[in-house]
Amino acid sequence: MSVQIRIERVGKTYFGAKGDHVALNAVSLDVERGEFFTLLGPSGCGKTTLLRILAGFETATSGRVLVDGVDVSALPPEARSINTVFQHYALFPHMTIAENVAFGLKRLRRPAADVASRTREMLELVQMTALAERRPTQLSGGQQQRVALARALAPRPDVILLDEPLSALDLKLRQAMRFELKRLQRETGVTFIFVTHDQDEALSMSDRIAVLAHGDVQQLGTPEDIYSRPANRFVAQFIGDANLLKGEVIGVDAAGQARCRINEELIVLASCDDALVVGQEALVSARPEQIRLLAPSDEGAAGEVRNVAFMGDSSLVELAVGEGVIRVQTSGETLRELGLAPGSAVRFQIPPLAARIVAGQ
């Protein structure tokens, strides 16, 4: 794989009458050719800003953007081989679906025959051929979404930018469109840079994810990396649910595994990338679904059930442990077997290496 887009220390400050606002600090990222790359982060973290800088709608206050080694920072949007799928699609209401899809090709002065054939090809790709002569207002949200995608893909751009393209759709459609988007990306081989604040979306579709917060990249890696090896406290909490437990390192082995004491009864074996020293404080992250509930007679740390929330396929149990609270996700069966209700005593275990020591304590 080769690097296609290089974002070098890009910073953006909005200068306003009521004070300046730093949206991006100094973001550096490489995106590889043909990759499904996701920018994931909470609302207001600067995802859209970064995307708009890539598209050329916004100028970075510092840093630069290279596409295939060429600095495009000074190029207007129409001079960049990058197309955008807008959040609310921005389909031209005064044009038919076919005219919308053909728009970019015509502006590139492609021969009429090419425009027609490419438009047809794109409409087929997104299965919209039958509705080609309709207007955007006569389409459902999902259909508009496909047209927006076809319109962006038609001029054969190097990169497609998608800003929360699924957020306007209902849950069922959103899930179906995930597969659809992934399929289109695979079939066309175009690089997708996808923005979302929905972690499920990011984890299920991406080749790599950059987690953004407070104008900085918090972690860059594959979905697997980010889920099971969160680089810091923010990522651990933002991706999935995590119990963050304060403890003391009581032993370190050569493989980088650390033994941590959370309280008298609870000692966890956690994985870690950083070098640790025996005796130092550490923050251990353990996912609720990785913690096992046991009968009071079994061996494990003791806790008391405070709350049980039914969630359909599973239940979330809140345990009072010492002074803190630990959330455990468990099946209905276990719940019934142990006869758990608020107030009942229970024991639990964090299996070896299910927990991870995160930086940033």
Partner 1 sequence: MAASEVKRSGGAPAHDSAPRRPVRALLAPDRYRGFGVWFGFVVVFLYAPIVTLVVYSFNDGDMIGMWRGVSLRWYQATLADGSVRKALANTLIVALFATLIAVSVATAAAVAIVRGAGRFERLSERLIALPLAIPEIVLAIATLMLFALIDLGSSITTLVLAHAVFCTPFAFMPIRTALAQISVSMEEAARDLYCTPAECFRLVTLPLLAPGIVAGAMLSLVMSIDDFITSYILSGPGNTTVPVYIFSMIRQGVTPQINALSSLLFGLSLLLVAGFWFSSRRS
Partner 2 sequence: MSSARARTNRVLGLAPVWLLIGGLLLAPLLLVVAIAFTEQGAYGGVDWTFSGAAFVSLLYNVDFDGTASVEWSYVQIFLTSAALAGATTAICLLVGFPVAYFISRQPPSRRSVLMLLVAIPFWTDLLVRIYAWMIILGNDGLIASALSALGAGWLYRNILFTPKAILLGMTYNYLPLMILPLCSSLEKLDGRLIEAAADLYASRWSRMKDVIIPLTAPGIAAGCMLVFIPAVGDFVTPTIIGGGKTLLFGNLVALQFGSAHNWPFGAAIAVVMLLLIGCAGTLPLLIRRRLGRVA
Ligand X SMILES: Nc1ncnc2c1ncn2[C@@H]1O[C@H](COP(=O)(O)OP(=O)(O)OP(=O)(O)O)[C@@H](O)[C@H]1O
Interaction partner, residue 59 (partner 2, Mg ion, partner 1, none; CB < 5-8 Å by kind): partner 2
In the list 11, 34, 77, 221, the residue contacting partner 2 (rule: CB under 8 A) is: 77
Could you list the beta-strand ranges (E) of the chain.
3-14, 21-32, 36-40, 62-67, 70-71, 82-85, 159-163, 191-196, 208-213, 216-221, 243-252, 257-261, 267-271, 281-286, 292-294, 301-310, 315-321, 324-330, 345-349, 355-358
Pick the closer one to partner 2 by CB: 52 or 259. Answer: 52
Listed ranges 148-156, 167-175, 181-189, 212-220: which one lies at the site for partner 1 (CB under 8 A)? 148-156
Rounded-to-integer distance, Cα 347 and Cα 305, Å: 10
Listed ranges 43-51, 91-99, 253-261, 285-293: which one lies at the site for ligand X (CB under 6 A)? 43-51
In the list 16, 69, 76, 93, the residue contacting partner 2 (rule: CB under 8 A) is: 76
Interaction partner, residue 44 (partner 2, partner 1, ligand X, none; CB < 5-8 Å by kind): ligand X
Pick the closer one to ligand X by CB: 122 or 195. Answer: 195
Rounded-to-integer distance, Cα 42 and Cα 197, Å: 5
Would you count residue 116 as binding partner 1 (CB under 8 A)? no
The first and second tokens of residue 207, run together, are 């080749």
Interaction partner, residue 287 (ligand X, partner 1, Mg ion, none; CB < 5-8 Å by kind): none
* Alpha-carbon distance values, 231 to 46, 218, 219, 329 (Å): 20, 8, 6, 23
Would you count residue 222 as binding partner 2 (CB under 8 A)? no
Would you count residue 303 as binding partner 2 (CB under 8 A)? no
In the list 14, 57, 179, 310, the residue contacting ligand X (rule: CB under 6 A) is: 14
Residue 280, judged by CB atoms within 10 A of its CB (0-12, 13-18, 19+), counts as exposed
CB 300 within 8 A of CB 349: yes
Helix 112-125 and helix 141-153, axial crossing angle in degrees, nearest 10: 140
Which residues here bind partner 2, judged by CB under 8 A?
56-57, 59, 74, 76-77
Which residues here bind partner 1, judged by CB under 8 A?
55-57, 76-78, 82-84, 86-88, 90-94, 103-104, 107-108, 151-152, 155
Which residues here bind ligand X, judged by CB under 6 A?
14, 16, 21, 23, 41, 43-49, 197
